[in-house]
Structure 1
Amino acid sequence: MKERWLPVGLVAAGLFVVNIVARLVVRFAAGSDDDRQITIGLWALFAVGAVLIPIAFWYGRRVPMIRVIGELGLAVVVACLLSVLVGPFVSGVGPFSNGIGLVFQQFFYFVGVSAIGAVIGLLILMTTGLDYKSQSWKRYIERTSTKPRKVVRR
């Protein structure tokens, strides 16, 4: 149980930490300048997607693709919910202070950019032939193409 859900929790925590760091940078460095706040927010969003590229690559080598999609998807949704509902308190505002529309917008942007990062990582993995399924096929071909052991008669 620990081996399966610990990586999911660590991925969710890592993505949440990236968002919190970005919110702190916006709070202390950008001040009330809207252009700087948007720029820092966009860079943080791209950082979330960039973090998922190596994570998806690493995770896809270890487990079948259906588990990668399910477990990374769960980690992204948990991190997104934490970032959207808890993250604004770090910035000094409430999560629904700017309306529910902004909450949904942040949620869909976060999930969308995360999905793009994960897909890029998985495509790189499949292109190099290092994913779980390709390695299984490789082992199967090696096993079936070897000659059977000769029986020694006495």
Structure 2
Amino acid sequence: MDRRWREVWVLAGALFAVNVVARLTIRLGFDGDDAAADRVSLAMFAVIGLILAVVAFRWGRRRPLGTWAADVAVAVLVAMALTVLVGPLLVGNNPFAGGAGTFFAQIWLYLLATGVGVLIGYLVLTALGRDHRSQQLKRYAEVKTTKPRRVVRR
């Protein structure tokens, strides 16, 4: 159980670290250039989605869907809260400086990027037949076909 939560917190930290790197890149390299800041933000969301696709692929192989999906959801919610509330403070901004529209747009974009990443990772895993349920069904079919038939006596 301890290992499971450690993985969740490491994932949340990695997702937040990607955001911090993107914010510092925008602050130090492209301060005032909105087009470059938008490209860096788009790259950040792509990296977050890619990380979650890989996590969904790896965790989906060895654990049931309900277990790893809950873990990913906790990690995403913690990372999103840190990204939206603490991230701006690290570069000297107020989290609510852009208004409610910007604040909620960040939340929706973050949820969209993470949702797409998890969905792509799990769909690829399922299409390859490597997910936990497919492997269980495969083992069940193998066990049932190797057992000899019972002879019915009358």
TM-score relative to the length of structure 1: 0.92
The offset of 1:147, in angstroms, is 3.1
Q: Does 1:122 align with 2:127?
A: no
Gaps of 5+ in 2: 149-154
CA deviation string 1:86-116 (max 9, x = no partner): 0001221011111122111101110111010
RMSD: 1.3
Please name the residue that 1:69 is paired with: 69
C-alpha separation in 1, matches of 2:3 and 2:143: 29
Q: Does 1:106 align with 2:106?
A: yes
Please name the residue that 1:151 is paired with: none
Gaps of 5+ in 1: 149-154
SS in 1 for 2:115: helix
TM-score relative to the length of structure 2: 0.92
Please name the residue that 2:28 is paired with: 28
The count of residues paired between Structure 1 and Structure 2 equals: 149
Residues 5-154 of structure 1: pairs in structure 2 closer than 5 A: 5-148=5-148
| Percent of aligned pairs with the same amino acid | 39
CA deviation string 1:32-86 (max 9, x = no partner): 1111111111111111111111111001011111112211111111101100000
C-alpha separation in 1, matches of 2:5 and 2:33: 40
C-alpha separation in 1, matches of 2:147 and 2:100: 66
C-alpha separation in 2, matches of 1:38 and 1:128: 35
Structure 1 consecutive aligned stretches of length 4 or more whose deviation exceeds 4 Å: none
